[in-house]
Amino acid sequence: MQFELNAVTEKLPKHLHKFIVKQPYSEYTAQNQAVWRYVMRTNVDYLSQVAHESYLKGLEKTGISVDTIPHMEGMNRILKEIGWAAVSVDGFIPPNAFMEFQAYNVLVIASDMRTINHVEYTPAPDIIHEAAGHAPIIANPEYAEYLRRFGEVGAKAISSAKDFEMYEAVRLLSILKENPNADQKEITAAEEKVSWLQDNMGELSEMAQIRNLHWWTVEYGLIGAIDDPKIYGAGLLSSIGESKGCMKDAVKKIPYTLEACNASFDITKPQPQLYVTPNFAHLSLVLEQYANTMGIRKGGLKGVQKLIESKSLGTIELSTGLQVSGIFNNVVVEENKPIYIQTVGGTALANRDKELIGHGIEYHAEGFGSPIGKLKGINIPIENMSPRDLDAYGIYEGKTVELVFEGGVKVTGEVITGTRDLRGRIQLISFKNCTVTYKEQILFHPDWGIYDMAVGVEVVSAYAGAADVNSFEDRSKVSETKTQKITYSEKEKELYELYKLVRGGRENGIVSEAQVKDVFNKLQMLYKGDWLLPLELYELALDYDFEIQNVILEHLNVLKKNKEVAKLIENGLILLSEQATH
């Protein structure tokens, strides 16, 4: 077991377990720890002015330390008190799985730590983004319920075949961009692939739209007044660069409405526009508005067509409550209504999310097909017929009948039996020696065995996944593109030992000027470009009023001539001067 079970995680279905990895805490270098501390200290200092009030309270409540990368076990113990949990995963996981974790009140936390090259913004999900971005706002009960509900709705969103391709392309690009040893040609090729897919997605699927809503709220959301919003999105809370940049007039602020579901985003770049919600309750309102457009609530022909286009496991529910789960490959249409549906391969039938006995994928191994609608010339739908009505229309055991549906599908065969639900509504009628036709087309032949006909006037719901999760073998896959473990040179390892030495001295309170001088001299000789450790040495020199502080400051000012790190050093120095005045 890669994770600790508690009251929250023990509810997770087994098919999600495979995405969980052990947090590689021992692999975090002392420089990683210093990057965490730098980002958290500068973030908390700035965000205390611009973040939603839940942020600082939430950091305290969720037990996230400014000084140390959190241990997942420790976070779990504290999150449990607010009904949530956290698990460690390897980078991006498939959207449906991500949503499902959320529906079970479980935060998925990418366990990697951003490198010093991506202090301000990382293209890959990392523990700063996940733990310090997502977790604190969850302490707000209204927002936490929005997040859980979002996961519940999102897990049922129907994907297109291109969505998974985009997921894999973005995952690869984020991994390559975060690895300092990655080949530039590979990065360029990955960028081109993502760019091409973004321009060629076609009509957005439900999953693409739900991901857009997630992005513009959970990741990059602003809250409050349009002209003076506060930050609550995790992507902004975890990015020094974007949390400052997003407040500038150059970033357009738009009132958050359902329209955001059609606004796609580029995960590798800062966002040119952001959406502002007046309050957390409004987020739930828009989510419900979107859910009302989805196949899970609308059903109908469009819902069936979405499932066919997805080429993935999905479920339709009929007006009787009968659920058909499988890969849908055909629908016969009359007057813009589905009159016959078909699946290919293993199919399961269920009622109220429980598989009907004898109707699993072994029995329906070759697929399933059934007419939908009312019988021609008969006002009472089969589902509403009493035993007396069925007898009157000759639909009973041992009787050969010809059922002609309004859409033109004809079912001829000998009735074997019917299956009813607990309320007595008939859901299935089984036939032998059965022929099913539509015009000249044979949809079922007597030689194919027993014909089970679903009963239902209409498709009331269509959604991703199976009605009963136990009906199918787990089909979701862990990506074969793994996060690349960074290989460090001996020189880099020696630098991290210096970071460790400084960290140890600060934490133990045992620091001498000779020690600081020694580390500083080694830095000047061997690591002239490193800016973060000199900043930590300057902090110690200030705290202990060492004479070397001016020499270190002079060195930092020289390093500031490099535009790439000038702002980072300046931010650190401002923080230290504020600290000194308090």
pLDDT of residue 478: 65
Helix extents (H) in 215-360: 234-237, 240-245, 280-291, 295-298, 300-310
Q: At what angle do helices 54-61 and 30-50 cross, to 10 degrees?
A: 140
Residue 389 has phi, psi (to 5 degrees) of: -65, -45
* The CATH classification of domain 9-288, taken from the options 1.10.800.10, 2.30.110.10, 3.40.228.10, 1.10.1060.10: 1.10.800.10
Element (H, E) at 382: none
Asked if 61 contacts 82 with a C-beta cutoff of 8 angstroms, the reply is yes
Residues 6 or more apart whose CB falls under 8 angstroms from that of 500 comprise 30
Is the dihedral angle over the CA atoms 49, 52, 57, 63 positive or is it negative?
negative
Tokens in use for 386?
């009493």
Residue 446 and residue 413: Cα distance in Å, rounded? 8
Residues 6 or more apart whose CB falls under 8 angstroms from that of 61 comprise 78, 82, 136, 139
Domain boundaries, the chain: 9-288, 311-464, 490-581
Q: Name the region of 433 (left: φ>0; alpha: ψ -120 to 50; beta: rest).
A: left
Q: Give the residue carrying structure tokens 């301000």.
A: 120
Which is it for strands 273-277 and 222-225: parallel, antiparallel or unpaired? Answer: parallel
- 342 burial (CB, 10 Å; 0-12 / 13-18 / 19+) is buried
Asked if 466 contacts 472 with a C-beta cutoff of 8 angstroms, the reply is yes
Asked if 324 contacts 299 with a C-beta cutoff of 8 angstroms, the reply is no
Cα dist. 214→105, 125, 136, 182, 194 in Å? 16, 15, 17, 30, 19
Asked if 566 contacts 555 with a C-beta cutoff of 8 angstroms, the reply is no
The residue type found at 24 is: P
∠ CA 241-48-57, rounded to 5°:
120
Is the dihedral angle over the CA atoms 567, 568, 574, 577 positive or is it negative?
negative
Tokens in use for 319?
């007006």
Which is it for strands 400-404 and 409-420: parallel, antiparallel or unpaired? Answer: antiparallel
Q: Divide the 582 residues of the chain into consecutive groups of 10 and give the mean pLDDT of each group.
A: 71 88 91 94 89 89 87 83 87 84 90 82 75 86 95 94 79 75 85 81 88 94 96 88 87 97 81 95 98 96 96 96 97 96 97 96 97 95 91 92 96 94 89 96 96 97 94 71 76 95 94 95 94 96 95 96 93 86 64
Helix extents (H) in 380-443: 387-392
* Radius of gyration from C-alpha coordinates of the chain: 29
Residues 6 or more apart whose CB falls under 8 angstroms from that of 178 comprise 112, 114, 115, 118, 122, 123, 124, 126
pLDDT of residue 240: 76
